[in-house]
A and B are shown apart, each in its own frame.
Chain A
Amino acid sequence: MTRSTFVKGRQTSPKEEIWSRPYAALLIIIGGLVLLLAGLAFSVAKGSRQIPLDVVWQALVAFNPANQDHQVIWELRLPRAIAGALVGAAFAVAGALMQGMTRNPLADPGLLGVNAGAGFMLALCFAFFPGMGFNQLIMFSFIGAAVSVVLVYGIGSIAKGGLTPVRLALAGSAVAAMLVALSEGIALYFRISQDLAFWYAGGVAGVTWAQVDILWPWIAGALIGALLLSRSITILSLGDDVASGLGQRTSLVRLAAVLVVMVLAGASVSTVGAIGFIGLMIPHAARALVGVDYKWVIPTSAILGALLLVFADTFGRLLNPPTEQPVSALIALIGVPYFFYVIRKKVGDNF
């Protein structure tokens, strides 16, 4: 046990309440990175066309355009695998930030309507500007995510008694229901339902290099932003009183965190559709493993989220080839029971 471990029965300063396991965190981050590399290699090698690992390696170091395997790897599998890792990390970190700043175990960009907001903007784009470039699509999806974040948090916080898990979840599901209904209306009117559903079902299947090129700077930037914010988030997660007592400008931190969440969720949703539950599950797992210091929770969440999405996507391809199982459904299959578990464990009898 380290000195920072919370000691029961003793008056502790806030700093001592933040128990963390830096060594475990470092171990998980390094081990996770190795595992992620293995996962990426596996993901690139497996599929309806099996490619030996040494061919994968050759394709990476000595690309031969005449070789069909090499082409499959470069043009189809690699962008897909990289996008999966990026998006998985993004959803997980978005969830970690939301849970930390609201002190709410159920915060997740999917459940809180952020994904639906991004989706709504994309429905508008599909309807009014068909053929819009991915660059603009991402920007619009940021705006959509921002609108729903403002709606959900704004309404949740206006109410007396603040943001309880139930109120936040209700606000999120109501905003999501409303935005989904509006998207459905637009989609039916413009006869783009099926296009929208294909995109909404989520999945990294059709991701191209052009998309990855646009995607990665945003996500990388936002992940760095999340790391920079991590100390403030840790203090915020102790409660507003403590945070302002320590001289933190809580509203400024919140604003910055919301901006980061908006970029993370918006970029991910515009690429792979609405994949829920990653942002819920991963931060819980990360906190259980490395403690409640967000300096460690955020990188651990990023790694674990990337791992989850890359492996779920690969599994979905291998389950019943050549048909692919959409990754959003697979993750919901784990996510719903996990959510039930969190409710039973963490939510009290009354709010």
Chain B
Amino acid sequence: MNPVLFNRKRTVRTTITIAALIVIAFIVLLLSMNTGFTKMSPLEVLRTLFGGGTPRDELILFEFRLPRIVIALLVGTGLAIAGAILQGVSRNALADPGILGINSGAGLAVVLFVVTNPMRESASPMFMPFLALVGGFAAAAIIYLMAYKKDKGISSSRLVLSGIALAAGINALMIVLTLQLDPNEFNFIATWQAGSIWGSSWKFVLALLPWIVILLPAALWKARQLNVFSLGDDTATGLGSYLNKQRLLLLIIAVALSASCVAVSGGIGFIGLLGPHIARRLVGPRYEHVIPVSALIGAVLLLIADMVGRTLMENAEIPAGVMVAIIGGPYFLYLLARSRT
């Protein structure tokens, strides 16, 4: 087949997929605005959106529901892109910031802060992503060093296994730390850890938005680089140290994305896994297509998970992270059972 033609076909397919996903995102967005503890009809929502709602409706929609929806979209985007990058860099289709321990590292930093500073109201939402970033990078650095051997470079299996070990260790430490909290703080941390989109105010949107706005284009810009990694190390070693630098840069982007998301949403696993996988099914393996499509899929998935979690039970909320795990866990196991390496 003519490679140019082939490429064009792919691009067309990606464009159609993206358009379809945007439509789906819009539908879910509208649904999500309608559902919640207080019932609002679609008409009321529309009227409120265009400035004709009652003060009560405006309060619910603009102050409670919309910020939370926007955060779900941003977090879903960030985690899915981080997952796509990590899968490319580790050449393991099952890598994900949760499994690699980066989320745990970021979470540990946040929990440490809450434990040592009893007045958590004093922590501005702007500060949380930086804190999570330190933890996320520390975890990533440990995993990277453990997977690195002088003469052989990074091995994908060592990377994955080190991540799993580190996550297990951090989780043990985290339980110990949270036990020292009083019941109120404990509940806050427990809910946050379970992956609840708790920062439902515009302040948190503002805290997260710059990270996504800067890192999303950076990931897209580096997408072609990820294609080179997928060729395997033998082919890629010809490029030598250049490759190691690229790998490091991409890792930094992925860690920064997932850590800033963890800061506002806690540990949501599996999104970074599901997004890229479904994307690959839809548009093939090339990362310039995979990254934007998985970003959209991640955003839609998390929005649905949050919406369902909010409305499934009358008097309680199920954290989005739990919802994602209920769907994502079995899917992950299915992928694993089918995988060859």
Q: Using a CB–CB distance below 8 Å, which chain A residues touch chain B? A: 106, 110-111, 151, 155-156, 158-161, 164-167, 169-175, 177-178, 181-182, 184-185, 187-189, 193-194, 197-198, 200-201, 276-277, 325-326, 328-329, 331-333, 335-336, 339-340, 343-344, 347-351
Contact = CB atoms under 8 A, between A and B. Distances in A.
B336 A184 contact: no
A177 B325 contact: yes
Interface of B is mostly: helix
A112 to B, nearest CB: 10
Interface residues of B, number: 56
B287 to A, nearest CB: 22
A166 B161 contact: yes
Given A184-B193, A328-B176, A343 B329 contact: no
Given A159-B336, A160-B340, A189-B313, A194 B193 contact: no
B298 interface: no
A174 B332 contact: yes
B99 A170 contact: yes
A174 B169 contact: no
B265 interface: no
B75 interface: no
A339 B167 CA distance: 12
B99 A184 contact: no
A164 B193 CA distance: 31
B200 interface: no
Contact of B186 (A173, A197, A347): A197
Interface string B159-188: 011101111110011011011000100110
The 5 closest A-B pairs by CB, nearest first: A178-B329, A181-B325, A336-B169, A185-B322, A332-B172
A170 B162 CA distance: 11
A198 B183 CA distance: 12
Contacts of B92: 166
Contacts of B318: 185, 188-189
Interface stretch (B13-21, B33-41, B150-158, B288-296): B150-158
Q: Which of A110, A187, A188, A339 has most B Cβ within 10 Å? A: A188
B176 A177 contact: no
B175 A328 contact: yes
Interface string B310-341: 00010010110110111011101100111111
Contacts of A325: 176
Nearest to B173: A329
Contact of A159 (B98, B321, B337): B337
Contacts of A189: 313, 316, 318
Contacts of B336: 155-156, 159, 167, 170-171, 174
17 contacts: A111-B168, A166-B160, A170-B164, A173-B168, A178-B326, A181-B269, A181-B329, A184-B194, A193-B190, A194-B179, A197-B186, A326-B175, A332-B169, A333-B169, A340-B162, A348-B157, A349-B158
Contacts of A110: 168
Given A166-B160, A169-B164, A201-B176, A155 B325 contact: no
Given A166-B157, A181-B326, A194 B99 contact: no
Nearest to B146: A340
B179 A173 contact: no
Contacts of B165: 111, 336, 339-340, 343
Contacts of B162: 340, 343
A181 B322 contact: yes
B179 A197 contact: yes
A197 B185 CA distance: 14
A170 B155 contact: no
Interface in B263-319: 269-270, 313, 316, 318-319
A204 to B, nearest CB: 15
Given A177-B325, A182-B325, A197-B186, A349 B172 contact: no
Contact of B190 (A106, A155, A184): A184
Nearest to B322: A185
A106 B172 contact: no
Nearest to B169: A336
A159 B319 contact: no
Contacts of A197: 175, 178-179, 186, 190
Contact of A328 (B172, B326, B328): B172
B94 interface: yes
B160 A170 contact: yes
Contact of A188 (B190, B324, B338, B340): B190
B223 to A, nearest CB: 25
A169 B161 contact: yes
A193 B333 CA distance: 27
A313 to B, nearest CB: 14
Nearest to B333: A155
B77 interface: no
Given A175-B329, A189-B318, A349-B149, 12 more contacts: A169-B164, A170-B336, A177-B325, A177-B329, A184-B322, A188-B190, A193-B187, A276-B168, A328-B172, A328-B176, A344-B146, A344-B149
